[in-house]
A and B are shown apart, each in its own frame.
Chain A
Amino acid sequence: MKIAAFPIQTVQDQFPILDRTVRGRRLAYLDNAATSQKPIRVLEKVDHFYRNYNANIHRGVHTLSQEATKEYDDARETVREFLNAGEARQCIFTKGCTEGINLVAQAYARPRLKAGDEILVSTMEHHSNIVPWQIVAEQTGATVRPIPITEDGEIDLDAYQAMLSERVKVVAIVHVSNSIGTINPVKSMVAMAHAVGAIAMVDGAQAGPHLPIDVQDVDADFYTLSCHKIYAPTGVGVLYGKTDLLQSMPPYHGGGDMIRTVSFSGTTYADIPSRFEAGTPNVAGVIGLGEALKFLMGLGRSRVFEYENKLARLAEVKLTELGGIRIVGNSKEKAGIVSFVMERAHPHDIGSVLDSYGVAIRAGHHCCMPLMERFNIPATARASFAVYNDEHDVDALVQGIRATKEIFG
């Protein structure tokens, strides 16, 4: 299979880490769903910040602070463009996808939920889109109900429809499954939630790196990103929310920068987004994020999606041809993530053998224990693709799996 014109060499040249070897071999980094590598322009952007205009933001009248504040605010505008949000102030910087979900659970859901209310999450959710809801359920007397999925790893939309009622107040679903790559029909799922008066939160942690995203088209009430998976530094996330909802929410954390006035007779809170960004944020990370998103948008996300998908599907074909391997998750709509199990080798053993071939994959439950239980497996081996992967990485994976088969018979 020939892969269509994608400037792979130019892209690879931008990732210095790809020059290193692992256990004497060329690195085949296929653990991108856990975190992505960083392009040189992001590393340089962060380095440049620290060397030239490192300062706190929004509080200094001096030049450095003004420069840092401008870059920070520009990054928010870049995020707005990335998500096609209406306004930049709807995009709140968090420390990760996990924090975004907890923020919505505590600041949106907790004051509103009561006993008898329901929160629907899918069976394929990451623990970070389950546990915050369980916590708020415990606090309010609401219940969390799992939406079942089919054998192919798709959300069972009929079952979802049947679960929707006036009792449902929140629907929280993952856009792209980190374990099995399923792309969920979030637009119609959000519309179905709205039809019964529920709000919908979409976990976009894995959609961010792989797909074009349009939060207005999806009509999500909340949408979260995990930025270290989108070529940006660790410690930054984004929570997008509809303006009226965000404005109706109390702060999640208290501290500096999130207030208008503070006195012991009462404090008034700042407007969004500052209300939700208490304390000194990850300024360098956010500035790096802006650069990362420009990098990805510059490549063209439809083209990225198509490229990564071809590699992932090629990997699926080649792995299946080896025999004794089962792909877990065969959704019709799928991103560049391949989860599989082998008849005789446990995912952990696969991971160790692959590591000795320079191939980095993830072996485990991928923080999706309910999903593993659904498929009656303890774990899978997962290869996840990014813009800098190529056919050599697929070949290295296949070679490592062939070696695994030799060892385990």
Chain B
Amino acid sequence: MNSELRDLYQDVILSHYRQPKNWGDLPDSNANAEGFNPLCGDRISVFLRVKDGVLEDIRVNGCGCAISCASASMMTEAVKGKSVEEAEVVFEQFHRLVIEGEAQEDDDSELSALAGVHEHPVRIKCATLAWHTLRAALRNEKQVSTE
């Protein structure tokens, strides 16, 4: 594998892709949204159980490429247990990471592995699909598209 590919497909990304976390349905969810990437046809669903402003549980279902699955899986770990406000902050940080390639200084979280996506503009929407879907669910919008 050449270095460029190694940056994009880091081990953490591949392992989340192979064994995504918090995958499946959430029967007692009280918020959800469906995300769609018209560019590639990928669809993703995010289910949440929010109680007293806290994201108690989250599940993701359906996925596409390695980047979108890994990003979704890491996202669930990054926001689970956080308050809705904190989740919005994580969203903003992630957005800056992949759009601007700008990592938080003290960021040693797995999410930083997705910084490589910044070098592949056509893949940015793959990485952000789950996140936009999460935000739509938090804001009670049922559907979101990366168009």
Query: CB-CB contacts of A372-386 with B at 8 A, as 1s and 0s?
Result: 100000110000000
Q: Is A278 an interface residue (CB 8 A)?
A: no
Can you list 11 A-B pairs, Cβ within 8 angstroms, ordered by A? A23-B4, A346-B65, A348-B40, A352-B5, A356-B5, A364-B39, A365-B40, A378-B43, A379-B42, A407-B5, A407-B9
A352-B120, A364-B39, A364-B40 known; A378-B1 Cβ under 8 A: no
Q: Which of B5, B41, B120 contacts A365 (CB 8 A)?
A: B41
Give residues 323-381 of A contacting B (CB, 8 Å): 345-349, 352-353, 356, 363-365, 369, 372, 378-379
Interface size, chain A (Cβ < 8 Å): 21
Contact B14 A378 (CB under 8 A): no
Q: Is A403 an interface residue (CB 8 A)?
A: yes
A346-B66, A349-B66 known; A372-B41 Cβ under 8 A: yes
What is the minimal beta-carbon distance from B123 to any residue of chain A, in angstroms? 6
- Once the chains are docked, how many angstroms separate the CA of A4 from the CA of B133? 53
Q: Which residues of A contact B98 (CB under 8 A)?
A: none
Contact B41 A407 (CB under 8 A): no
Q: Which of A345, A348, A356 contacts B126 (CB 8 A)?
A: A348
Q: Which residues of A contact B42 (CB under 8 A)?
A: 378-379
Q: Which residues of A contact B126 (CB under 8 A)?
A: 348
Q: Is A50 an interface residue (CB 8 A)?
A: no
- Once the chains are docked, how many angstroms separate the CA of A403 from the CA of B1? 7
Q: Which residues of A contact B1 (CB under 8 A)?
A: 403, 406-407
Main SS class of interface, A: helix
What is the minimal beta-carbon distance from B63 to any residue of chain A, in angstroms? 9
Q: Which of B8, B14, B40 contacts A408 (CB 8 A)?
A: B14
Query: CB-CB contacts of A385-409 with B at 8 A, as 1s and 0s?
Result: 0000000000000000001001111
Name the residue of chain A whose CB is nearest to the CB of B18.
Answer: A409
What is the minimal beta-carbon distance from A167 to any residue of chain B, in angstroms? 32
Query: CB-CB contacts of A98-120 with B at 8 A, as 1s and 0s?
Result: 00000000000000000000000
Interface size, chain B (Cβ < 8 Å): 21
Name the residue of chain B whose CB is nearest to the CB of A377.
Answer: B41
A364-B40, A407-B14 known; A378-B66 Cβ under 8 A: no
Contact A378 B5 (CB under 8 A): no
Contact B66 A363 (CB under 8 A): no
Give residues 1-57 of B contacting A (CB, 8 Å): 1-2, 4-5, 8-9, 14, 17-18, 39-43
Q: Is B137 an interface residue (CB 8 A)?
A: no
Give residues 106-127 of B contacting A (CB, 8 Å): 120, 123, 126
Name the residue of chain B whose CB is nearest to the CB of A23.
Answer: B4
Name the residue of chain B whose CB is nearest to the CB of A24.
Answer: B2
What is the minimal beta-carbon distance from A378 to any residue of chain B, in angstroms? 4
Q: Which residues of B contact A364 (CB under 8 A)?
A: 39-41
Q: Which of A349, A365, A406, A409 contacts B65 (CB 8 A)?
A: A349
Contact B4 A356 (CB under 8 A): yes
Given A349-B9, A352-B5, A363-B40, list of 19 further CB < 8 A pairs?
A23-B4, A345-B66, A346-B64, A348-B40, A348-B64, A348-B126, A349-B65, A349-B66, A349-B67, A364-B39, A364-B40, A369-B41, A372-B41, A378-B43, A379-B41, A403-B5, A407-B9, A408-B17, A408-B66
Contact A379 B40 (CB under 8 A): yes
